[in-house]
Amino acid sequence: MNSTSRQRRLTAAAVTALAVAVAATACSSGSGSSDSNGAGSGTYTVWDPYPQFDKTSAWAKLLDQCGTKAGVKIKRTGFDTSDLGNKTLLAAQQGNSPDVLIVDNPVVSTLAEAGVLTTTDDTGLNTSKIDPNLLAAGQSAGKTYGTPIGANTLALYYNKDVLKKAGVDIASVKDWNTLTAALAKVKKAGKKGITFSAIGTEEGSFQFLPWFWGSGAKLTELDSAQAVSALSLWKNWLKKGYAPNSVLNNTQTTSWQEFTGGDYAFAENGTWQLAGAEKAGFDYGVLPIPGATGGNAAAPTGGEFVTVPIQKDSARYATTKKLVTCLTSGDNLYNTDTTLSYVAPTSEVQDKQVAAKPDLKPWVDAVKTAKGRTSDDLGTKYPKISEQMWKAVQAALSGSKSPEDALSEAQSAVK
């Protein structure tokens, strides 16, 4: 693809989709590739969404080590997640893209459809060891655009003391009916049931998706009977007092704060809260979110992909491949994912993580059944679907519409 046709595809729709896609989960300025030296030498540019890591951090040192191994210097810039996607589009328009781009996984398909990224076929990157469900978040129209550096997802944290006092055996919680029965016991015992985020943003959709997918619903049919059952579950929890009305305005952070107060039995949240859980002052456990009739529901994947933007000089890809391969090698994945509180994207490294920290086992189980929000070739369609989903959740939980009517309107708006 020549630069003119690539720029033509960098549309306003792509920019809009990016603005929505990066709003949910993630955990300076710089310039792209302007190296005057030949490919395979000189300076290679890396953009990432980790501005919290300075040049003395283990992450920055790893980048330098991979650069040294490849025989080049690394110029690294960390951006806020909300800025990175749009800055990448602008750099592509200017023909000044970074050599390596590490970006939140829902943004990958948008950048791919905008003509910004190379495929793994173009660069020869080997993704054979990556768990297929995680790799799918970076796939569009049968092509793969990069490789995940790690993943996080959602599960249920539970307060062991609250459940014990309510007479609830966590082993009995296997599906929606048994979870609801546990919440009823907790309320009867004078404690609070479950807290989560149903805010009218991507965070609300992100938290609703495990229940939506756990019902058997598909994002292409928001008004299915299965989807209605998922929204009705949440609605009934509020109606019966098993979940607080505050979920309508809760972010994932504020719902977590509710849980750490010590009165709630359950909280839906992610791996990024593990450090906080260990400081909460009570004994906790983690349970993968159950499906409607049992088993683990698919929860949405968070985490970043290491991608390779299109360059004017395609000879640079050979060295870029060395850099990406180094960053995503087994040893480096283990160290990086420990730093980022991520579950590794390969079974080999996941096993190593669990051996070192057995408490990660339920998170590994959750990640193994997780699903990318843009999987199923939704690509840039996902942000619009997600917006209608969170609007439906808000309407149903606030009581302004029934779950059936809210989701019917959502589906009509998507079409």
Side-chain-side CA neighbours of 357 within 13 Å: the count stands at 16
The amino acid that residue 44 corresponds to is: Y
Q: Measured over all CA atoms, what is the biggest interatomic distance in the chain, rounded to whole angstroms?
A: 71
DSSP string, 32-76: -----SPTTSSEEEEEES-TT--TTSHHHHHHHHHHHHHTSEEEE
Kindly tell me the burial class for residue 108, based on how many C-beta atoms sit within 10 Å of its own C-beta (0-12, 13-18, 19 or more).
Answer: buried
User: What is residue 3's predicted lDDT score, i.e. its pLDDT?
Assistant: 32
User: What is residue 350's predicted lDDT score, i.e. its pLDDT?
Assistant: 97
Q: Mean pLDDT across the stretch 19-46?
A: 55
Query: CATH assignment of 3-151+302-368?
Result: 3.40.190.10
Q: What's domain 154-299+378-414's superfamily in CATH?
A: Periplasmic binding protein-like II (3.40.190.10)
- pLDDT band for 40, please (50, 70, 90 cuts): low
Q: Look up the pTM and report it.
A: 0.84
Tokens for 22? Answer: 């990066």
Q: Which residues contact 373 (CB under 8 A, 6 or more apart)?
A: 105, 106, 137, 206, 209, 300, 301, 382, 386
Give the strand pairing for 143-144 and 154-159: unpaired
102-112 tens-digit pLDDT: 999 999 998 99
231-244 tens-digit pLDDT: 999 999 999 999 99
- pLDDT band for 38, please (50, 70, 90 cuts): low
For 168, the 3-state DSSP assignment is: coil
Tokens for 201? Answer: 């943003």
279-331 tens-digit pLDDT: 999 999 999 999 999 999 999 999 999 999 999 999 999 999 999 999 999 99
Per-domain boundaries in the chain:
3-151+302-368, 154-299+378-414
**Do the Cβ atoms of 278 and 173 come closer than 8 Å?**
no
3-151+302-368 shares its CATH topology with 154-299+378-414: yes
Flag whether pLDDT at 10 surpasses 50. no
User: What is residue 80's predicted lDDT score, i.e. its pLDDT?
Assistant: 87
